[in-house]
Structure formats: structure tokens, C-alpha cells
Structure 1
Amino acid sequence: MPAFPIDPAPDASLAFLREGYAFISNRCRRLGSDAFHTRLLGRPVTCASGAEAAQMFYEPRRFTRNGAMPKSALKLLQDEGSVATLDDEAHRVRKAMFLSLLGPDRAPEVARLATEALRESLAAWSLQRDERVRLHSALHAILCRAACAWAAVPADAARIDRLTHELAAMINNAGAFGPRNWQARLRRKEAERFMAGLVEDVRAGRRHPPEDSPLAVIARHRDADGRAMTPEVCAVEMLNILRPADAIARFLAFGVLAMHRHPAARDALRAEATPGPRTHAFVQEVRRFYPFFPAVGGKAREAFSWRGHDFSAGDWVILDLYGTDHDARLWPEPEAFRPERFLNREPDAYALIPQGGGDHAVNHRCPGEWVTIETMTAMLHVLATEVAYDVPDQDLGISLRRMPALPADGMVITNVRMRT
């Protein structure tokens, strides 16, 4: 007898697309287990949810990401040769480079640039009060400009605008199949060619970005084998530095939606003259409550046992990120938006996992998490305290079938005016 129950469906791929973020947690509840066996895309897989499952999944060196994600998604989100596809010493050395660029020491710099760009846009919007601002796309454009300035990516406004759309296409179509995905992959290739050209210019001495800028660091990085990355792999990692602009824009759109639906939480932000513990708690609850990525997959690198089940090398396992962030054993009233749950509490590394869990340096946890939190904190405080705006009638529903998710109309605001 297997240690975990078996989903009776011969293949659950269509059910996964139909249920989206809730697919794993729905079956865990139905089957009365934190883990179950099923088939996706014709392949056997074990799906697991909860903090103990996250600890199992993020045990160092236990899983590889290679072969654990459909090619259609990998090609858009990370691409081959990226840090996410590496293991052991190769991963440690490449990840250390990312942490040097995105760690807690650098996060305030990114947040400052993004907040300055936000204030410029708010001032412009306040002069055109009848303009309807679709916040997700507008904030993505703001963040992409700021990220390019920080990363020392030189380009005119038209090229930055094109890069913004290329990055958005990567995220929006990662869960799609067929022509939409293929077209987005072509747009990614255009962005990669642009980035590879910049790297070649730096190496040839035609460009001289600041020594600590991402463009300079990535162009001159040497991997664990002592060799420089190819321009193509450098381009992949440059996009992985810039791509989180869309992720932060999504979180910010959810944050503005939360302020709209929870005025008391918005007032708590306004009570702080500068971003403080209540703003930080609000940001953490936005990251916990709203859907970001549904799950993450790994292939076992060697045999191991968990909860009475013997996993073999090569077994495919999917960890439920969204379901763990909504686990009632970890989060009382998980479907209630309660920022106060994070006051005077730093979340456990295996309980709050919208961007992965475990140790940033060792595991495949997003190195941009500090930048995400710092930038969200600064920008949401500005949106709460420095401007007023109206929220017109629109569809603010969030479909858990859409991956990645957003408010249906992208969180539209209008009649923006500066607060005194």
C-alpha cells in the first residue's frame, strides 16, 4: 500500500488547469492527506502541501529543478543555463553572485529608484485626473525603468518600453501552451539578444558601467569552474535580474486592492510617518494572502524517505506554495486579510513561501525576495500617504484559474491627486 492516497483521475492535467492555485489543496482536503500521488502530463508525480512538506522539499541537495518544469514555462521564466537549473557548487557560486546584487544591502537602492520613479508618475497622473490608470501595467513600466537604471542597462525610451512588454510577455504566458507561449518565447529571444550585445560591449571595453552594477558584475562573473559565462547565459541572468519588476508590480496591484477593500489596514499605513512595522506587516500579508505562483517542482536527486514513503531518484515532486500560505494550521483564519498577524513576528522559512522557502544561499529560493519586500514597503507607503485617488467600477475579481493571477481589470484608479 502506498503511504499517500492516490488521486483516482487517470491524468489530472485538465483539472490542474481548471482549478489552478487550488488544485493541490483541494485534493489534500478531499483525500485527507498532506500529500498524494497523481499524474500530470502523463507523468507520475507526488504533490505535497504544508510546512513539513516545504522542509522536506527544501532539504539541501535533495531536489534538482532540471526536468521538473515544463519546457514551455522554463523557457519563459528562467531559460536554460540560468541559476535555477544549476546544482551543488555551480549553484552556490552563481547564487552568491545574485545575492551580492539583490541581498539586503542592495535592496534599499532599488526601492529608492523605484519610489522616485513612482512619484514622478503620480505627479504626471495628477495633472490628468480623468485618466484611467491600470496600475499593474503602469507600475510594471515604472519598475522596469527603475530596474534598468539600477542595472546600468543603457537604452532609449522606446527600447525600454519594448523591454517592458517583452518581460511582461514572459510572465503572462508562462502558463500558456501553443501560439501564445511560442510568441512570448520569440519576444524573450529578442530581449536576450539585446542583453547579450550589452555584455559583449562591456567585455570589449566599449561600455563602462559602474563596477557594482548588475551589468558589470554579470559580464565579469566567473562560475565555479573558473570560466566566464557565455554572453547568452549572461543575457539570461540579466533578464532574471530585471524580470522581478513584473512580480513586484503584481504584488503592488494586490496591495492597492487590499487598501481599497480594507480601509482600516490602509489607515494603519497612513498612521506611520515613514514605513514602519505596520507597513511591513501589511506587505507580508499581501504576499501571503494573494496568489503569486501556485507551486514549484523538483526531481529527486537520490532516494530518500518521508512520512513512510520511499522516494526514488528521479521522482517528480510538486510543492504547493499557495496552499501552504493558506494552511489553517499555520495561519488562523487563512482566508481573512489580517496584517496584524505579522506584527512583531518574522515568518518561518517554511511557512511563508510565496517566493520559495529554506535558505536563500543554499536552496532555490528567490534571491530577489529582499528587493521585493523593500520595494513594496516603500511604494505602498507612498500610495497610501502621498496621494488620493478614486477606484471606479471595475471587475476586481481574482480568478485562481489564471496563472499568474491578477485582479481581472488590473486594478484601475482615476482622479489621482497629491495629498498635502
Structure 2
Amino acid sequence: MKQIPKDKGLDQSVNVLREGYQFLPKRFERLGSDIFQTRLLGKKIICLTGEEGARLFYDNEKFKRKGALPKRIQKSLFGENAIQGMDGDPHQHRKLLFMSLMTPERLEDLGDITRKQWQKKAQGWGRKKAVELHEEAKEVLCRAACQWSGIPLREKEVKKRAEQLWLMVDSFGAVGPRHWKGRKARKLSEQWIKELIEDLREGKIEASQGTAIYEMAYHRNLDGQPLDTQIAAEEILNVIRPTVAVSTYIAFGALAIHQDPKQEAKVKVAEDEYIEMFAQEIRRLFPFVPFLGARVRRDFIWNGYYFKTGRLVLIDIHGIDHDPRLWDNPQEFSPERFYNWKGGLFDLIPQGGGDHYKGHRCPGEWITIEAIKASLNFLTNDIDYEVPLKQDFSYSLSRMPSLPESGFIIKNIVRK
């Protein structure tokens, strides 16, 4: 039996917070291995990287998700009863519910709604000296996600709901005040959605079949019982919260265009294929999810290494998306790299890998791509703007989640 290389030190929990997205990649490089063992919160953890590591990690015969998510992440980001912690037939049944929302027609609707919401938002920009794109994107995507999901959203509550959804996202890599703000935001958001579900079930409000709120409200578990109101609320938030999280990608996309003006010209006149490649390259290059976890379902041996039942295993999401064995010049922004891409399940995994239908790959990545594409179309075709140079375009790989320090500021905005 081969010994799994070990990270030096007694416990690396503090270093995860200090190093963020670079925590795992730095150790894989230092140890010269695609597998190593470390300790987090006093527990032994196995860490994997590389395409083969991802292929192993997303083998449902060997790994399970139940018990893998820390309670603090459940209570702030995903919810305590949500799909991310499910396995087997119940997971498959719940996954089909999410997949039913992702038809080509409904995704096209989301793109149209998102672009129209940007156009509506831009109506007030002419009266402002400048706007911070990330802040604007949070509200635009909140409006778009709620409209697409059938969730009634009053004008006076847009800013509040957008901020609550963002605070959940902003909490996942934090301790202290940021984390507690995320937990409070989740409680308030769950209560908001629970009341709407109850109103829908009692006939006080209406929603169209096929929308997230309708399908979640009337979905039945394998035992034939409707989803508990709390669980239904958590799962609806697992549709609209990740959509608001795309606001980071919008800021990064604007940054990519600013740093390479030739890209703006390409996106402006591009067919849908190039815009989608541009969106994929934003997702590949810029930081989003650092790593994900699962637990060993039963003892097994892989490449001579022993995996014990119950052991927590982390997959290096950020590192795989920047692996030079998979991507030429991985630190460069180059949408053209996707011209010959075959759509692998274990190479581009910014929101998780594996199969959408049979595995744990996030169905929300299709929402992410559509929201990015619609936003890029708006930025390049619906407005002209200037980018003040006196702002901080840098972003930290230590902070989780990361985004441009300035949020990306634009000024002198003119609608076309």
C-alpha cells in the first residue's frame, strides 16, 4: 500500500482562510503529487487534484455527499436540508426537479429577462457620475432571478433582497462578522420564501407552471408527500442565490474586456458560439469555488492509496481549472481555447464536475452561462462607457469569494 503524501503542520485550518484559492494548489505543487493528506479542524482530510482526481471524486459508488458539508456552510450558504447534502434515489429525484427548470426555452427566457433588466437599470445611469458594476449586477440579477422563478418582488424590497442573497455568498469563506451576516441573511431569506410558498399553496398568489416557485411548492418526494415548506424555501434559494453570485463573474467579465479591448470587438459582433466561449473562459480563469468535499462511502484502494470509509475528501476546483496539463497557458484569458473543447466532465469544473443527470454537477451552471452571455451582450451592444483608471482592478486569491477590489467602476455611460 502506498503512503499518501502528508502536508506538514498539525492543523491547516487557519491557512485555508489565509491562502484561500491557493491553499490546495500550493501544496500539490510543493509535494509534487495529485493527492495529499492534511488536517483541518483536527480531522484528517485527503485532497485530490487533476482530471483523474476529479473523475474519482465524482464516482457516486465511492463517495457520498451526506455529512460532507460543514454545518457552518449549510447554515449560511446552502441550507441544512438542501440537495447538496443528498445521495442516492432521493438526490436523483430532487435533481430531476432542478433539471426540469433548465429547458432550452426557459434558459433562453432567462437570458432575455436578464438583458431587459440591465436595460431598465441603465435608464438611471445617465444621471450618475459613475456606477460600480458589481453592485448594479447584484440587483439586476436578483430581479431577473425572481422574475424567471415566478417570485413576486416589490420595487422597494429589491435592494434588500439582493443584498441578503449576496451576503449568503459572501459568507462562505469567512469567519466572524461576514459569516454571521450570511447566517442572518439566510434566515431572513428563508422566512421570505416560506411565506410566499404558503401564500401560493393557499391560493393567495399565483405562479406559472414551470417556474421554480411553482415546481418547488408542488413537488412531491419519493414517498408522495409534498416538500416541507422549509426545504422548498431552501431549494428555491438554491436557484436565486447562485444567480446573484454571478455578479462576480460580471465584474470579472468587464475586467477581461477592459484589459483586452480586442475582446470587446469580438463579443460585440460575435455569434452565440463565441459569446459562450467567452463566458466559459470567465468561469475557468476567475476565482469562484475553491474546493468541494465528499465522504468516502466504503473502503477502497485507488492507484495504490487507501481510502477509509467516512474520510472527508476535498477536490481542488480552482486548481483543476488552472491545471497546465489540461489548459495551455492557464493564467491567460483566451476564449479561443474552447474552439476545440469537447465539453469534458472533469476538466472545466468551476461549479463542480461529473454528470448533470446522474451525478452532483450543479445544474445552475447553465443559468450562470446564460446570465453572463446576456450581461456581455448588454455591456458591449446596449451602452457605451468609460473605465476610470483610478480604481483597483486587482483581486485577491486569499479572499473567498473574490472579486475586483473596486467592484469595477464605469462612468460617462450612454445608452445606444
TM-score bracket, shorter-length normalisation? over 0.9
How far apart, in 1, do the equivalents of 2:191 and 2:78 lie? 15
Give the deviation of 1:237 after TM superposition: 0.8
Give the deviation of 1:2 after TM superposition: 4.4
How far apart, in 2, do the equivalents of 1:378 and 1:178 lie? 35
Say yes or no: does 1:300 pair with 2:293.
no
User: Is the 8 Å Cα contact of residues 108 and 375 (structure 1) preserved in structure 2?
Assistant: no
Cα deviation code 1:41-60 (max 9, x no counterpart):
11100111111110000012
User: Is the 8 Å Cα contact of residues 194 and 230 (structure 2) preserved in structure 1?
Assistant: yes
- Cα separation, partners in 2 of 1:18 and 1:323, compared to 1, 3 Å: same
Say yes or no: does 1:17 pair with 2:17.
yes
Gaps of 5+ in 2: none
Alignment match of 1:343 (pick from 317, 339, 343)? 339
The alignment partner of 1:102 has SS state of: coil
> Residue 418 of structure 1 aligns to which amino acid in structure 2?
R
Give the deviation of 1:159 after TM superposition: 2.4
> Residue 218 of structure 2 aligns to which amino acid in structure 1?
R
- Cα separation, partners in 2 of 1:418 and 1:206, compared to 1, 3 Å: closer
**Aligned residues with identical type, % of pairs:** 39
Partner of 1:66: 66
How far apart, in 2, do the equivalents of 1:412 and 1:123 lie? 17
| Structure 1 segments (4+ residues) deviating >3 Å | none
The alignment partner of 1:177 has SS state of: coil
> Residue 295 of structure 1 aligns to which amino acid in structure 2?
F
> Residue 39 of structure 2 aligns to which amino acid in structure 1?
R
> Residue 278 of structure 1 aligns to which amino acid in structure 2?
Y
User: Is the 8 Å Cα contact of residues 103 and 368 (structure 1) preserved in structure 2?
Assistant: no
Alignment match of 1:159 (pick from 157, 160, 164)? 157
> Residue 6 of structure 2 aligns to which amino acid in structure 1?
I
Q: What is the TM-score with the length of structure 2 in the denominator?
A: 0.96
The alignment partner of 1:341 has SS state of: helix
User: Is the 8 Å Cα contact of residues 324 and 352 (structure 1) preserved in structure 2?
Assistant: yes
Give the deviation of 1:408 after TM superposition: 0.7
Cα deviation code 1:244-271 (max 9, x no counterpart):
2222211111100000011122221123
How far apart, in 2, do the equivalents of 1:20 and 1:140 lie? 23
Say yes or no: does 1:250 pair with 2:248.
yes
The alignment partner of 2:123 has SS state of: helix
Greater Cα offset, 44-53 or 201-210: 201-210
How far apart, in 2, do the equivalents of 1:78 and 1:71 lie? 10
Give the deviation of 1:103 after TM superposition: 4.2
How far apart, in 1, do the equivalents of 2:266 and 2:283 lie? 17
Alignment match of 1:326 (pick from 322, 328, 331)? 322
User: Is the 8 Å Cα contact of residues 103 and 370 (structure 1) preserved in structure 2?
Assistant: no
Gaps of 5+ in 1: none
- Cα separation, partners in 2 of 1:86 and 1:382, compared to 1, 3 Å: same
How far apart, in 1, do the equivalents of 2:380 and 2:213 lie? 33
> Residue 95 of structure 1 aligns to which amino acid in structure 2?
K
> Residue 368 of structure 2 aligns to which amino acid in structure 1?
T
Q: What is the TM-score with the length of structure 1 in the denominator?
A: 0.95
How far apart, in 1, do the equivalents of 2:326 and 2:113 lie? 35
How far apart, in 1, do the equivalents of 2:222 and 2:160 lie? 34
- Kindly tell me the number of residue pairs found equivalent between the two proteins: 415
Give the deviation of 1:226 after TM superposition: 1.5
User: Is the 8 Å Cα contact of residues 108 and 371 (structure 1) preserved in structure 2?
Assistant: no
Partner of 2:220: 222
